[in-house]
Amino acid sequence: MSKQDKAKAKRAKKNKQIIYMMLAASLVVVAVMGFNIVRISLKKSAGSGEVVEKTNTSSMKNDQYVIGNNPTQFQQDEFKKLTEALKGDDQLAISEAVVRNFIADYFTWTNKDGNYEVGGLQYIYGPMFTSFQEQSRWEFYKDLDLYISQYGRENLLEVSDITITSSAVAGNFELYSGEEFASFYIETTWNYKPSPKIDVDSFQKTGYFTVINNNGRYEIAQFFDHYD
């Protein structure tokens, strides 16, 4: 092999090494970018500007319900109790657990992004779902966007404990459609975690609920914040 051929061979070998190094560097960059994309996708931007890690609770579900988005620890504990109640045949106990889970989600704002994200809807009687959601956005949730922007989501309402003050089997409950379902009446009170920004005690802390057995699925057919 001539000197010229040897020089060409060396250059070709060197070029291959450079190409391999560039490919390796590219793979590292792609891997890092992929990691960042996955990491970001597992995060959720809060209304106050901070980024909150999503809680991996995809396994928290049972035959009837799935836990809500970004649940607080209290919500997770209540959902576990609901799952246990569903394993038994005590309909009143199941109804109480449904109400507790509704309250824990609906009246907690620290894990909501805006007034479009109404909590606890899965516990509402199916045909009332849409109307209840719209009503909530115009009532209890109407100022949520403003509260998030002014005070930060982390300083808003978060249910900390719930007390069932009274519960009873209530006989059949007739809906506007004329349908009748076995029902259960439940009275409750609850508290919120203290907040440095808002007066949590000025918000609703009592509820009067009627839960129906809708073909084996327990759903809230009505509730009020006061009793006449």
Mean pLDDT, range 192-205, rounded to an integer: 97
Summarised one tens digit per residue, pLDDT across range 6-33 is 444 444 444 445 445 544 444 433 343 4
The values of phi and psi at residue 195, to 5°, are -130, 140
Indicate the DSSP class of residue 226. Answer: S
Average pLDDT along the chain: 82
* Structure tokens given for 170: 């209530």
pTM above 0.85, yes or no: no
Q: At residue 89, what is the residue type? A: D
CA distance linking residue 13 with residue 37, whole number of Å: 36
Tokens of 51: 């980024």
Least confident residue range of 29-38, 136-145, 196-205: 29-38
Nearest 5°: phi and psi at 209? -120, 145
Three-state DSSP at 190 gives strand
Kindly indicate the confidence band of residue 130, based on its pLDDT and cuts at 50, 70 and 90: very high
Region of poorest pLDDT, from 24-38, 48-62, 89-103, 171-185: 24-38
Q: Is the pLDDT of residue 171 over 70?
A: yes
Average pLDDT over residues 160-179: 95
CA dihedral 200, 203, 208, 213 (to 10 degrees): -80
Residues 92 and 168: beta-carbon distance below 8 Å: yes
Pairing, β 51-53 against β 43-45:
antiparallel
Continuous H helices in the chain: 3-41, 73-86, 91-106, 129-138, 144-151
pLDDT, tens only, 71-111: 999 999 999 999 999 999 999 999 999 999 999 999 999 99
